[in-house]
Amino acid sequence: MSTDLSKKLSRDTVKNFCLNNAISLVLVALIIFIAIREPGFISVRNLRNILTMSATRLIIALGVTGCLITAGTDLSAGRNVGLAAVISSSLLQAPDYPRRMYENLPSLPLIVPLLVAVVVCGLVGLVNGIVVAKLKVPPFIATLGTMVAAYGICSIYFDRPPYGAQPIGGLNKAFSALGTGYVGFGGNYSIPYIVLIAAAFTLVMWILYNKTRLGKNIYAIGGNMEAARVSGVNVTKTLIIVYIIAGCMYAIGGSLEAARTGGATNNYGNGYELDAIAACVVGGVSVYGGIGTVPGVVVGVLIFSVINYGLTFINVNPYWQQIIKGVIIVAAVAIDIKKYLVRR
């Protein structure tokens, strides 16, 4: 009898472990699979490339995380990324570049255009928060509207004299260095600035969610909004702050993406919101709200980076890569639903 009980407990332990760590196990399995197919994949150079590819996506995903934890979403993320990229790039072109958007604009300190981008995207986040929290519009609809509006604003700004809708390039060296510079001696053993910046913001967001009253309120709202309101949480204020923070994170991610790629167009960021939401869900942020961790989001972003980089590395057809992504997303949601039913 005791033996049967021990076996049952052992099976339950293994089952719970796999259920609670499914996404991390998927990441490990992907790496092992790719390494078996191509042993050269396990290298410092490829790790550096994956981390660089993940950096801006992680910052954007961390912005979406708060919205999802409060049982909302933010479809405007990608267009905010594009808006920030265009604004920061247009204000940080090199003085000797012949096709500057602002021909007579003096060289600005790096922080000024970045703050302008953060303020603009923060205002879009403020609008999202007000519409969701005060007007009670479902987050999906509210952010769908601002997504369209943000793209229109970005396109109007982008398509201006004297050169019209031409890609913005010729960025000054200090700005480009944010996306392409590194700490170290160069080569594979250097650490890109963009990775360090992403790590710093990851730490800040971890502290916000785990060590502050605001973070506790965010989880409380996602767990049960009415119960949070009754217990004294200012739900309206908290939701507005969540969407403002999200907008600011998109601005940072968009500006860094422009610095990394050396320019911007009004189509920058298109579809980034879907990647960010998918990474969060795969990383364990519950579709029902109230659950999600920063380390989980990091793992979710890394999974998609490994898929994009690793499967390309072993020459897997890009269409198959999309199928694999879709399967992982659906599996992650299915696991989340199973956890939710178990909790009930």
Task: Give the number of domains in the chain.
Answer: 1
Q: What are phi and psi of 183, to 5 degrees?
A: -105, 135
pLDDT at 10: 66
The Cα 68–Cα 314 span in angstroms is: 34
User: Which residues touch 226 (CB under 8 Å, ≥6 apart)?
Assistant: none
Bridge partner residues of 191 (DSSP): 183
DSSP letters along 138-191, please?
A: -HHHHHHHHHHHHHHHHHHHHS-TTT-S--B--B-HHHHHHHH-EESSSGGG-E
The pLDDT, as a whole number, for residue 112 is 95
Q: Quick check: is 9 in a domain?
A: no
**Residue 5 counted as domain residue:** no
In a domain, 306, yes or no: no
Residues in contact with 121: Cβ distance below 8 Å, sequence separation at least 6, in sequence order: 80, 83, 84, 247, 248, 250, 251, 254
The residue with tokens 């502050």 is 212
Task: Give yes or no for a contact between 243 and 126, defined as CB atoms under 8 angstroms apart.
Answer: yes
Please report the pLDDT score of residue 1 as a whole number.
47
Start-to-end Cα distance in the chain: 30
Q: How far is CA 165 from CA 121, 201, 244, 266, 317, in A?
A: 21, 33, 29, 8, 33
The span from the CA of 67 to the CA of 65, in Å, is 5
pTM for the complete prediction? 0.91
281 within 8 A of 334, measured Cβ to Cβ: no
For residue 181, the enclosing domain spans: 55-270
In a domain, 31, yes or no: no
Block mean pLDDT (10 aa), the chain, length 344: 57 69 77 88 89 95 97 96 96 90 89 96 97 96 97 92 82 92 80 95 97 96 95 96 98 96 92 91 87 92 89 88 84 72 55
Please give the radius of gyration of the chain, using alpha carbons only, rounded to the nearest integer: 22
Q: What is the dihedral of CA 301, 213, 20, 11, to 10 degrees?
A: 170
Could you tell me which of 328, 242, 254, 198 has the C-alpha nearest to residue 65?
242
- Classify residue 292: in a domain, yes or no: no
Residue 17, domain member (yes or no): no
| CA nearest neighbour of 305 among 60, 121, 73 | 60
Task: Please report whether residue 75 resides in a domain.
Answer: yes
User: What tokens appear for 9 in the block?
Assistant: 């407990």
Buried residues in 241-256 as b, exposed as e (16+ CB within 10 A): bbbbbbbbbbbbbbbb
Kindly give the residue spans of alpha helices, DSSP state H, lying in the chain.
2-20, 22-37, 44-69, 77-91, 111-133, 139-158, 173-180, 193-211, 213-223, 225-230, 235-261, 272-282, 294-313, 318-343
Residue 33 lies in a domain: no
Indicate the SS3 state at residue 50.
helix
